[in-house]
Structure 1
Amino acid sequence: MHLDLVIDPLGILHPTNNLRHQLPLPLVSAYSSFAIPTADPGIEKEKTRMDLKTNEPFFTNCTRDFLGTVDYIFYSANSLMVESLLELVDVGCLQLETGLPSPACSSDHIALLAEFRFMPRMRR
């Protein structure tokens, strides 16, 4: 568990495995599109960097004490389509250091980037 979640004086973060949003928006995670079956070898490489249970990156934050996903890109699937995604970082290259930030990565989070295309609207 991330250290920021250990102290919870208001009791609003527990249980952390059951956090959900209740917004009336049909949101989808951009990186979960890697879960769609494909014959593209580049996509298959990215799937090795994904958690197959959640269809999200294994991590977006890597420190000495924590490795996990805390960053997401959500979009409206009824109006946008994922065109491309930034390649994910391999955890092996980060574990050579003590985590993030490192001499190679100046941030404590890996970069996530998505390019979207508007879906054509159906005429009535």
Structure 2
Amino acid sequence: METLNLKQLSDNRAELQTKGDLDAMRDIMHEEFRYVDSSGRQFDKETFLDQFVDPASVQWISQDTVTFDETVSGEIALIQILLEERFILGTNAYEGRFWVLHVYVKENDKWLWQGGQATMINEL
């Protein structure tokens, strides 16, 4: 049962992000949110929203989950995802596969996205 809930949460996060729903994304993110992108840049909650959610900054073409795996221990969930993404950031178009680790914490019976890290996958 937990797997289905976390998969739905992960899919919901992706949908909110690609739609540019800043308020709904803010609601599912932990106040101490931290993220490291595939270029090694670090983001807190507001800078992540500004860079990767706000439609004024990013235009999402697609973000598709290829694989999904989770490990849950008490109030912490680690989710490993292989994503295929296409988006335009500023004047640059990006397309690629990314291995992503997302961390969720459960507070007051609600899972919140704590943060994560992305690595671009170079396929030969």
> Fold match, TM over 0.5?
no
Q: Name the one with the larger strand percent.
A: 2
TM-score, normalised by the number of residues in structure 1: 0.31
Q: Name the one with the larger helix percent.
A: 2
